[in-house]
Amino acid sequence: MTARPGVAVLTGSSSGIGAEAAVQLGRRGWTVCLLARRADELAAVAQRVREAGGTAHVHPVDLTDDADVRSVVDVLLAEHPRIDVLVNNAARSIRRPIRESVDRLHDYERTMAVNYLGAVRLTLALLPRLLEQERVDGSRGHVVFSSTMSTQLPIPLFSAYLGSKAALESFARSLLAEHGHDGVTTTVVHFPMVRTPMSGATAIYAAMPMMSPDKAGGWLVRAAVDRPTRVTSLGGAVSEAGMSVLPGVLTKVVTPGIRRMDRRLARRTRDD
């Protein structure tokens, strides 16, 4: 199914993949509601959306704050009789070994607060409208969830981040199972590494080849427009299949390779 240009609510659109997706949706004539905390950055992205031919609305919000989200949702519902697509893209990442996290439960709490609960909070608040609009005019709402290829592979050092993304994927699966037939479909997007402020926070990744934010933004647009259940790389899909059949073997094979790659990247970063 390919959606006509409509209204998209896009979280995490003040930078990185979300900002590029917003501009590309604007180019296709969509109305984009931009959500993130930093108002100035959102205003700059809104300007790019308008220059690309779209319509943009700026909604500064902290997705971990119930009252903040409630008041943005009230505005969204009042201003848009129909919301075609919600893209849950906002997130924070933490790279830290579990051994160094024994006194840092808050790492797990703060990743869950944004990546999982922030997305669930907004989805629950918009769900009644998404279901109602199906009954009124048959237009089906769609919810996109930004996740990562790292939930498809045995990846070390990101346990807090990956736990929150795995929970998010599970929520997406439940939402589709409960409402795929009567109003709301979902897409989970498994991004590989993308050159954004998030990946830039880890110094050794400067030397790693990565997808451009523009191309990654295109993955979100595909999710919003074509509405597949999943967007993934071939490598991610193959490894996911491998993990479901031989998780122990694949973990033994893959993780030493990742440790070697990290050491190589660290050497290259020092030499540059």
Ligand X SMILES: NC(=O)c1ccc[n+]([C@@H]2O[C@H](COP(=O)([O-])OP(=O)(O)OC[C@H]3O[C@@H](n4cnc5c(N)ncnc54)[C@H](OP(=O)(O)O)[C@@H]3O)[C@@H](O)[C@H]2O)c1
Rule CB under 6 A: say whether 217 interacts with ligand X.
no
Smallest distance from ligand X to CB 158, Å: 10
Nearer to ligand X, 183 or 213 (CB): 213
Residues from 179 through 198 that contact ligand X (CB under 6 A) = 191, 193-194, 196-198
Rule CB under 6 A: say whether 222 interacts with ligand X.
no
Nearer to ligand X, 42 or 52 (CB): 42
Rule CB under 6 A: say whether 89 interacts with ligand X.
yes
Told to judge if 161 belongs to the known catalytic residues of this protein, a careful annotator would answer yes
Stretch that binds ligand X, among 91-99, 101-109, 136-144, 259-267 (CB under 6 A): 91-99
Q: What gap in Å lies between CA 183 and CA 188, rounded to an integer?
A: 17
Stretch that binds ligand X, among 56-64, 131-139, 171-179, 259-267 (CB under 6 A): 56-64
Parallel, antiparallel, or unpaired: how do β-strands 55-60 and 85-88 relate? unpaired
Nearer to ligand X, 92 or 179 (CB): 92
Rule CB under 6 A: say whether 148 interacts with ligand X.
yes
Contact residues toward ligand X (CB under 6 A) are 11-18, 36-38, 41, 61-64, 89-93, 114, 118, 146, 148, 191, 193-194, 196-199
